[in-house]
């Protein structure tokens, strides 16, 4: 793994956390800090320079919002196939261009504004607090960071998790709910899937449609945050806002019910539905 | 950043969308002939609340509206028209593309409009004549080109989340935007200092505060968890008064500030706080709560787990503040109190 923005406050702190979890980080990048080290990891000025010395499968970005777009373009241009962007507050028009460019070049982006990916007891490519996770058979995909930790913790004792992916709370995300659900459906380590959705957008409705059409065979259970949110108000996440009636709580619940996906009334009811 | 109607219309003028002749005022003014006096508020539904008035007597209409608590007005010439249309531009999240939303039924609540169509206009090519022609045919109107191009520029160049005209009036002499709704994207404002200056606005650091109708203040860390907390309060028979996500990695100052912010709302009689610490630390949160409670005297029910949990709990218990590990009990106690 490569860490972009490794010398920053968040970058260096989470590099340590990820290393402690067993994640294999081989290099870091911070323009102007090439030649230094962070927890023994060599730092380079550019991604291209880091790749001359190391084999890298994935990059994680902790670069501040103003420069994070450049960091994503740089990773994509250097052929890194998986790019996890933790940074929040990236402008939507930037993300629109990044996502279209990543598709063109064959890179996968997770995030932005997300906690990353964790495979419990193996690899933490993100900012997950380890205490909530235990190796198991449930795949969790979530639009919300803290709610992911909460739900992981709730199912930790009885089920554990295969892989947990936080896709982020922004209007445009590199990887969508339905894409992750499809991957979980094919993943032999995953037996059941938990979706943590929220108001805004229509990603949840898309998953429901796939399930209804028989394209997903594994059991899915869901929770949707924002039942009581007033419309056209942004509820914390930039993506959690309902414009023109698209992506209301009701439309998501209706879609899940029609697809036979049980929906938990509170996050704490997820356990009963699995 | 939500813009006032008159600010949205300033941007309309900038991109070539025709608007009525008008003036912004905070006091009664003299005006010859028929006019529309429009209260400048950021909430919708002004018409239904009687805050938009067609009048021959602008001076006294402003006086009357001032008595209702309105402080800023847009006074515009009255535009006689035959038809009203709806048009807006925003980004389609699924397609990752700007879209134009059009309806021949203007002036109504677009969510209830039966006749509505979406036109995708990819960023790589921008608005083309064939797009305009298609939309014109659907709406049965001519002369849309500057308007479509203008809305598209507001979204793609000024980075608005939403640029909406509802209604767009069809008059004998052409099309006129009678209203404007423009929401600029907070994350992109740093690139649009010129525009902010032109509008006389400064860049405000946005927070996630949302006002609701009930009496319980809701605070949490992370948008999802805070929303879930709000929903649970409602499910358990309580009524949220407001919503605030302190965000990730908040220190004690941020926590203190956030609680004081909630408590400023006179409707808030008690506060439910639900925190799962990851980057954020429980002891920092506890210190913030303790500092806030020196200034505000409102009961607070805290559920706190995660990083430095024991230190945080201890600090709070020593001050006699209710601390919970289980959110359901915490919310239940708050609702029943």
pLDDT at B53 over 80: yes
Model ipTM?
0.91
Average pLDDT over residues A45-62: 98
Domain membership of residue B109 (yes or no) is yes
Average pLDDT over residues A182-198: 97
Average pLDDT over residues B193-197: 94
Q: What's residue B135's pLDDT?
A: 98
pLDDT at A218 over 80: yes
Decide if A268 and B327 are in contact by the 8 Å CB cutoff.
yes
Domain membership of residue B65 (yes or no) is yes
Chain B's closest residue to A169, CA to CA, is B223
Q: What's residue B57's pLDDT?
A: 96
A114 touches chain B (CB under 8 A): no
> DSSP 3-state assignment of B263?
helix
A91 touches chain B (CB under 8 A): yes
- Asked whether residue B60 falls in the same domain as residue B173, the answer is no
- Asked whether residue B190 falls in the same domain as residue B218, the answer is no
- Domain range for B143: 83-199
With the CA atoms of A120, A121, A126 and A131 taken in that order, what torsion angle do they form, in degrees rounded to the nearest 10? 80
Lowest mean pLDDT: which of A180-189, B57-66, B112-121, B312-321? Answer: B112-121
Domain membership of residue B45 (yes or no) is yes
Tell me which DSSP letter residue B94 carries: T
Contacts of A239 in chain B (CB under 8 A): 93
**Geometric angle at alpha carbon A200, from B251 and B305, rounded to 5°:** 30
Joined tokens for residue B264? 């400023």
- Asked whether residue B137 falls in the same domain as residue B220, the answer is no
Residue A250, C-beta contacts closer than 8 angstroms, at least 6 positions apart: none
Domain membership of residue B150 (yes or no) is yes
Contacts of B278 in chain A (CB under 8 A): 115, 127-129, 145-146, 149
**Geometric angle at alpha carbon B131, from B130 and B136, rounded to 5°:** 95
Find the CATH number of the domain harbouring B38.
3.30.1490.20
pLDDT at A69 over 80: yes
pLDDT at A241 over 80: no
Find the CATH number of the domain harbouring B137.
3.30.470.20
Average pLDDT over residues A43-60: 98
Best of B193, B207, B227, B306 to substitute, by most chain A Cβ atoms within 10 angstroms, is B227
Among B77, B92, B122, residue at a domain's last position: B77
CB B282 within 8 A of CB B201: no
Backbone angles phi, psi at A236, to 5 degrees: 75, -70
Q: Name the pLDDT band for B202 (thresholds 50, 70, 90).
A: confident
CB B214 within 8 A of CB B267: yes
Q: What's residue B68's pLDDT?
A: 93
Q: What's residue B115's pLDDT?
A: 87
A226 touches chain B (CB under 8 A): yes
The strand pairing partners of B218, in sequence order, are: B243, B272
Find the CATH number of the domain harbouring B247.
3.40.50.261
Decide if A149 and B91 are in contact by the 8 Å CB cutoff.
no
Joined tokens for residue B268? 């808030």
- Asked whether residue B291 falls in the same domain as residue B222, the answer is yes
Domain membership of residue B7 (yes or no) is no
Among B45, B60, B77, residue at a domain's last position: B77
Domain membership of residue B63 (yes or no) is yes
Catalytic residues of A: 237
The pLDDT tens digits for A76-110 are 999 999 999 999 999 999 999 999 999 999 999 99
With the CA atoms of A138, A140, A145 and A151 taken in that order, what torsion angle do they form, in degrees rounded to the nearest 10? -50
pLDDT at A237 over 90: no
Domain membership of residue B136 (yes or no) is yes
- Asked whether residue B242 falls in the same domain as residue B331, the answer is yes
Among B145, B165, B199, residue at a domain's last position: B199
pLDDT at B38 over 70: yes
- Asked whether residue B147 falls in the same domain as residue B66, the answer is no
Facing residue for A150 by CB, picked from B111, B159, B225? B225
**Can you say how many angstroms the Cα of residue A17 is from the centroid of all Cα atoms in its chain?**
17
Contacts of A109 in chain B (CB under 8 A): none
Query: Is B86 noted as a catalytic residue in this protein?
Result: yes
Tell me which DSSP letter residue B307 carries: T
Number of domains in chain B: 3
pLDDT at B206 over 70: no
Give A147→chain B minimum CA distance, Å: 5
- Asked whether residue B64 falls in the same domain as residue B95, the answer is no
pTM of this prediction? 0.92
- Asked whether residue B223 falls in the same domain as residue B276, the answer is yes
- Asked whether residue B72 falls in the same domain as residue B109, the answer is no
Lowest mean pLDDT: which of A61-65, A169-173, B249-253, B263-267? Answer: B249-253
The pLDDT tens digits for B107-164 are 767 777 778 899 999 999 999 999 999 999 999 999 999 999 999 999 999 999 999 9
Facing residue for A235 by CB, picked from B91, B243, B279? B243
Q: What's residue B208's pLDDT?
A: 81
Of B306, B291, B300, B297, nearest to B225 by C-alpha is B306
- Asked whether residue B213 falls in the same domain as residue B285, the answer is yes
CB B17 within 8 A of CB B150: yes
H or E element in which residue B15 lies: helix B5-15
A157 touches chain B (CB under 8 A): no
- Asked whether residue B105 falls in the same domain as residue B127, the answer is yes
CB B95 within 8 A of CB B124: no
CB atoms near residue A101 (< 10 Å): 15
Chain A's closest residue to B244, CA to CA, is A236
Residue A167, C-beta contacts closer than 8 angstroms, at least 6 positions apart: A110, A111, A114, A141, A142, A143, A173, A174, A175, A176, A177, A180
The pLDDT tens digits for B253-303 are 999 999 999 999 999 999 999 999 877 889 999 999 999 999 998 999 999
Domain membership of residue B16 (yes or no) is no
- Asked whether residue B272 falls in the same domain as residue B296, the answer is yes
Q: What's residue B108's pLDDT?
A: 66
**DSSP letters of B117-149?**
EEEE--TTT---HHHHHHHHHHHT-S--HHHHH
């Amino acid at each position: 793994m490569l860490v972009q923005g490794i010398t920053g406050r968040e970058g260096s702190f989470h590099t340590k956390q990820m290393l402690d979890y067993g994640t294999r980080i081989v290099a870091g990048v911070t323009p102007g800090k090439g030649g230094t080290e962070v927890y023994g990891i060599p730092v380079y000025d550019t991604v291209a320079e880091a790749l001359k010395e190391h084999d890298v499968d994935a990059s994680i970005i902790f670069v501040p919002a103003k420069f994070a777009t450049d960091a994503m373009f740089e990773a994509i241009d250097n052929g890194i196939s998986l790019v996890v962007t933790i940074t929040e507050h990236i402008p939507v028009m930037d993300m629109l261009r990044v996502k279209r460019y990543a598709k063109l070049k064959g890179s996968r982006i997770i995030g932005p504004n997300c906690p990353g990916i964790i495979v419990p007891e193996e690899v933490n490519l993100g900012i997950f607090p380890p205490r909530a996770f235990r190796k198991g058979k449930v795949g969790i995909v979530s639009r919300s960071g803290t709610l992911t930790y909460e739900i992981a913790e709730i199912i930790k004792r009885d089920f554990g998790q295969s892989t947990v992916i936080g896709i982020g709370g922004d209007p445009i995300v590199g990887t969508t709910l339905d894409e992750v659900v499809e991957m979980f459906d094919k993943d032999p380590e995953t037996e059941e899937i938990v979706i943590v959705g929220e108001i805004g957008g229509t990603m949840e409705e898309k998953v429901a449609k796939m399930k209804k059409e028989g394209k997903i065979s594994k059991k899915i259970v869901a929770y949707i945050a924002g039942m009581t949110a007033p419309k056209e108000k942004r509820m914390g996440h930039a993506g959690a806002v309902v414009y023109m009636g698209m992506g209301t709580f009701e439309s998501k619940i209706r879609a899940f019910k029609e697809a036979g996906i049980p929906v938990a009334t509170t996050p704490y009811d997820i356990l009963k539905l699995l | 950043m939500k813009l006032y109607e008159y600010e949205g219309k300033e941007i309309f003028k900038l991109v070539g969308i025709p608007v009525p002749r008008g003036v912004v005022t905070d006091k009664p003014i003299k005006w010859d002939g028929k006019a529309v006096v429009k209260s400048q508020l950021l909430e919708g539904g002004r018409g239904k609340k009687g805050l938009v008035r067609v009048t021959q007597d602008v001076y006294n209409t402003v006086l009357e509206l001032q008595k209702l608590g309105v402080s800023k007005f847009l006074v515009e010439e009255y535009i006689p028209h035959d038809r009203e249309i709806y048009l807006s531009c925003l980004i389609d999240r699924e397609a990752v593309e700007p879209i134009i939303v059009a309806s021949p039924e203007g002036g109504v609540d677009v969510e209830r409009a039966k006749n509505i169509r979406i036109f995708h206009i990819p960023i790589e090519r921008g608005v083309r004549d064939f797009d305009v022609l298609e939309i014109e045919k659907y709406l049965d109107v001519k002369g849309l080109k500057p308007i479509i191009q203008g809305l598209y520029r507001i979204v793609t160049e000024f980075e608005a989340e939403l640029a909406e005209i509802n209604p767009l009036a069809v008059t004998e002499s052409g099309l006129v935007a009678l209203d404007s709704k423009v929401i600029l994207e907070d994350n992109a404002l740093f690139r649009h200092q010129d525009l902010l200056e032109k509008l006389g606005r400064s860049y405000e650091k946005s927070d996630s505060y949302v006002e609701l109708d009930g009496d319980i203040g809701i605070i949490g860390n992370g948008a999802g968890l805070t929303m879930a907390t709000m929903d649970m309060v409602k499910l358990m028979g309580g009524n949220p008064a407001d919503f605030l996500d302190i965000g990730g990695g908040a220190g004690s100052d941020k926590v203190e500030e956030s609680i004081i912010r909630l408590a400023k709302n006179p409707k808030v009689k008690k506060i439910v706080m639900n925190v799962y610490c990851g980057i954020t630390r429980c002891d920092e949160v506890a210190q913030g709560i303790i500092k806030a409670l020196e200034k505000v005297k409102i009961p607070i029910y805290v559920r706190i787990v995660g990083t430095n949990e024991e230190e945080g709990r201890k600090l709070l218990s020593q001050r006699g503040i209710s601390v919970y590990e289980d959110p359901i009990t915490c919310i239940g106690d708050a609702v029943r109190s």
